[in-house]
C-alpha cells in the first residue's frame, strides 16, 4: 500500500487549543480547506484531526516590511517554505494507539491484526501504518484524545483506510451503516450508524435553501431501507410522502418515500382533495375531532389564536365542568348560558366569550370535526405496529395553526400508547412485547420546543425522555436558537448546513465538548450540499458533501446483494482479503 506524501510537521500545540502544523515547502496552502480530515502519525498513536483554520507565517519581519515584487517569481520561490510558509490549526478528535507487544501485534477492539516487525525508524513506522488494514470500524479501538503527538510528527491526507477505520462502510454486515455523503475532497462514503442514530433524538439544521429537506429524505430512506426504526413523519409541505419539486434552475421532481418503498410507507392526509390532485390515489383520510383537543394543545397555539392567559384559565374551568366535550359545548353556548355558567362556576364572562370567538377558527380547518366515530389515531398506531412507516400530509392545511395543532394532538396520543407499551414490556420482559423503535419527524421544530412551551408540549417530553419509551424525534429547523437549551443538549446527532446567525451557530454547539473549535468550520460551509455532522451516530465530527438524492440513489436503496450473502461467506471473504495482504 503506497504511503501518501506528508503535508507538514507538528511544531507546537496543546490538548485544549489544538495543534499547529507547518506545511512543507512543496505543499500549497491553497490546497488546504477548513473542514478537511487529516491524520497525524505520532510515534505510538495515530491522531484523526479536523482542519479548523489556515494561516500564513513569515520567518522575519523584514519580509513583511519589504515583500518581493509581484513579478519577481524567483524571489518568491526562494522564500517559499523558509522565509514564508503556511500553517494549519488541527483539532484532534480521536486517536488509535498501537500496543508495543513483543509478538508484533496491533490490538484492536474484539480482534487482533498481525503486522510485520519494524526497525523503529520513520520508514519502519510508515510501513507499519501501511500494513495495517481493517475491515470495519469495529476492528480497532478508537479512543478519546487525551494526549498529543510529539514535535515534528508528520501530517498526512486521510486515506480511504482511515475513513473506514472511523466511519465504517455501508456493506458492514454487523452494523446498520448508511452513507450520508462524502468528505469534501474525497470520493469515500461517510456512514452513520443508524442504530445509534435512532436511539436518541436528532436534528437537521440550516438556513432556508440549504437542502434540509433533501438530507431529511436521505435519512428517512436509510432508516426505512435498513429497518432501523418505524417513522412517523409530519409532512408540513407535502415533501416526503409523494414526489416533490427539486431545487435548481430547471423544474424537476424527486421521488417521495411512498414511491421508493410502496409496500412499506402509508400516507395519511388531512386534506384529501389536495393529496388526490397530486396523484396519490390510495392515501387514507385523517380527521381530528374537538373532543380530542386538550387545553395543553391550545396553550401551544395560543400565539396563532391570540389567546390570553385568562382565556386559558377559563378553558380549564370549562374542561373540568364538561369533560372532553367542552369545546363542542362552548361553541354552542349562548350569551345567557355563558352568564349563568360564570355565576355558578366563578368564570369570567369576557374571557369565555373571547375564547368562544377565537375557537371558531378551528372549525374552519378542513380536518376538524365536531365528533368522529372513527379512531384515526388508532389506525396510525396499527400501521406503525405492522412495521410500516406513516407520512401525514397537510396539503393546503399548512398554516402554523393547522400544523401545530394536529401534530401535537396526534403525537400526544401516540406517545401515550408507547408509554403503555413500554411499561408492559418492562413488566413482562417478553421480547414479543418490546415496542418497535419509533422516530417522529417534525418541521419548524422551534415552534414546539421554544423555552416558553417546551415543557408543555409532547415533543419537549419526548426529547427529554430520549429512548426511555422507544420514541425519539428528528427535528428539522432553520432557527436552532429558538429551541430550548435543555432540549438542544439532548439532541444526539446534529446534521447542520450553512447558518449565518451567531445565535443559531451558538445553539448548534450547545452541550458539545470543544464546540467552539468547530465554529469556523460551520461558518465556512457552502450554501448547497455541504453539512457538518457531529454527535452520537458518528465517532467524530466531519464535513461532508451530502449524498445526491437522484436516480442513482433510487437504485441504491433497493435490495443489496450483500444482504442475501450468508454471514459465514462474509467472514471467509474478510479472511481471504487479509491473507492476500500478508496477514
Domain assignments of the chain as residue spans, ordered by start = 8-167, 192-241+249-287+374-564, 291-364
Q: What is the mean pLDDT of residues 406-418?
A: 90
Contacts of 464 (CB under 8 A, 6+ apart): 486, 487, 490
Alpha carbon distance 145, 143 (integer Å): 6
**Could you tell me the CA-to-CA distances from 567 to 173, 455, 570, 574, 580 in Å, in that order?**
8, 46, 5, 11, 20
pLDDT per residue over 549-560, tens digit each? 888 898 888 654
What's the whole-model pTM score? 0.82
Among 466, 572, 504, smallest CA distance to 196 is for 466
HSE at residue 170, side-chain half, CA atoms within 13 A, is 19
Kindly tell me the sign of the dihedral angle through the C-alpha atoms of 219, 223, 228, 230.
positive
Burial class (CB in 10 A: 0-12, 13-18, 19+), 402: buried
Q: How confident is the model at residue 140 (pLDDT cuts 50, 70, 90)?
A: low
Q: What is the mean pLDDT of residues 221-239?
A: 92
192-241+249-287+374-564 belongs to which homologous superfamily? Answer: P-loop containing nucleotide triphosphate hydrolases (3.40.50.300)
Contacts of 20 (CB under 8 A, 6+ apart): 10, 11, 12, 13, 87, 88, 89
pLDDT per residue over 28-40, tens digit each? 888 898 888 899 9
Residue 204: what pLDDT? Answer: 95
pLDDT per residue over 89-130, tens digit each? 999 999 987 643 333 333 333 333 333 333 444 444 443 333
Alpha carbon distance 214, 293 (integer Å): 33
Among 3, 95, 86, 1, smallest CA distance to 49 is for 95
Amino acid at each position: 500500500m503506497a504511503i501518501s506524501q506528508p503535508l507538514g510537521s507538528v511544531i507546537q500545540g496543546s490538548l485544549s487549543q489544538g495543534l499547529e502544523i507547518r506545511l512543507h515547502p512543496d505543499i500549497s496552502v491553497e490546497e488546504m480547506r477548513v473542514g478537511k480530515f487529516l491524520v497525524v502519525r505520532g510515534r505510538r498513536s495515530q491522531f484523526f484531526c479536523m482542519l479548523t483554520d489556515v494561516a500564513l507565517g513569515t520567518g522575519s519581519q523584514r519580509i513583511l516590511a519589504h515583500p518581493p515584487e509581484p513579478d519577481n517569481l524567483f524571489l518568491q520561490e526562494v522564500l517559499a517554505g523558509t522565509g514564508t510558509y503556511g500553517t494549519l490549526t488541527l483539532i484532534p478528535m480521536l486517536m488509535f494507539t498501537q500496543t508495543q507487544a513483543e509478538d508484533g501485534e496491533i490490538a484492536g477492539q474484539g480482534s487482533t491484526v498481525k503486522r510485520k516487525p519494524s526497525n523503529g525508524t520513520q520508514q519502519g513506522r510508515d510501513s507499519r501504518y501501511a500494513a495495517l488494514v481493517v475491515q470495519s470500524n469495529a476492528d480497532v479501538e478508537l479512543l478519546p484524545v487525551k494526549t498529543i503527538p510529539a514535535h515534528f510528527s508528520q501530517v498526512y491526507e486521510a486515506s480511504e483506510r482511515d475513513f473506514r477505520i472511523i466511519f465504517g462502510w455501508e456493506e458492514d454486515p454487523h452494523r446498520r451503516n448508511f452513507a450520508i455523503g462524502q468528505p469534501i475532497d474525497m470520493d469515500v462514503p461517510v456512514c452513520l450508524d443508524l442504530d445509534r442514530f435512532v436511539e436518541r433524538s436528532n436534528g437537521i439544521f440550516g438556513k432556508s435553501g440549504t437542502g434540509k429537506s433533501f438530507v431529511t429524505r436521505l435519512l428517512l430512506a436509510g432508516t426505512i431501507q435498513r429497518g432501523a426504526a418505524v417513522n412517523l413523519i409530519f409532512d408540513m409541505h407535502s415533501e416526503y410522502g409523494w414526489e416533490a419539486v427539486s431545487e435548481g434552475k430547471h423544474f424537476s421532481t424527486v421521488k417521495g418515500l411512498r414511491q421508493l418503498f410502496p409496500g412499506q410507507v402509508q400516507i395519511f392526509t388531512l386534506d384529501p382533495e389536495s393529496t388526490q390532485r397530486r396523484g396519490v390515489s390510495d392515501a387514507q383520510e385523517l380527521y381530528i375531532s374537538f373532543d380530542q383537543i386538550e387545553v395543553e394543545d391550545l396553550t401551544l397555539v395560543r400565539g396563532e389564536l391570540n389567546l390570553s392567559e385568562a382565556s386559558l384559565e377559563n378553558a380549564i374551568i370549562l374542561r373540568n365542568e364538561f369533560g372532553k366535550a367542552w369545546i363542542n359545548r362552548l361553541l354552542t353556548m349562548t350569551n345567557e348560558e355563558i352568564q349563568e355558567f360564570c355565576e355558578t362556576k366563578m368564570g369570567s364572562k369576557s374571557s369565555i366569550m373571547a375564547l368562544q370567538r377565537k375557537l371558531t377558527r378551528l372549525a374552519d380547518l378542513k380536518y376538524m370535526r365536531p365528533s368522529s366515530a372513527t379512531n384515526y389515531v388508532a389506525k396510525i398506531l396499527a400501521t406503525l405496529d405492522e412495521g410500516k412507516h406513516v407520512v401525514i400530509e397537510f396539503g393546503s392545511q399548512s398554516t402554523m395553526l393547522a400544523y401545530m395543532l394536529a401534530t401535537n394532538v396526534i403525537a400526544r396520543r401516540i406517545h401515550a400508547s408507547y408509554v403503555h407499551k413500554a411499561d408492559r414490556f418492562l413488566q413482562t420482559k417478553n421480547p414479543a412485547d418490546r415496542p418497535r423503535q419509533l422516530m417522529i419527524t417534525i418541521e419548524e421544530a422551534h415552534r414546539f420546543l421554544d423555552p416558553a412551551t417546551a415543557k408543555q408540549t409532547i415533543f419537549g417530553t419526548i426529547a427529554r425522555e430520549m429512548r426511555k419509551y422507544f420514541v425519539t424525534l428528528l427535528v428539522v429547523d432553520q432557527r436552532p436558537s429558538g429551541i430550548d437549551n435543555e432540549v438542544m443538549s439532548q439532541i444526539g446527532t446534529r446534521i447542520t448546513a450553512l447558518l449565518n446567525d451567531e445565535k443559531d451557530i451558538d445553539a448548534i454547539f450547545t452541550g458539545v465538548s470543544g464546540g467552539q473549535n468547530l465554529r469556523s468550520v460551520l461558518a465556512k460551509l457552502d450554501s448547497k450540499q455541504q453539512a457538518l455532522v457531529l454527535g452520537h451516530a458518528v465517532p467524530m465530527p466531519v464535513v461532508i458533501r451530502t449524498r445526491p438524492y437522484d436516480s442513482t440513489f433510487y437504485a441504491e436503496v433497493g435490495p443489496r446483494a450483500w444482504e442475501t450473502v450468508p454471514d459465514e461467506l462474509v467472514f471467509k471473504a474478510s479472511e481471504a482479503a487479509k491473507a492476500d495482504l500478508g496477514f
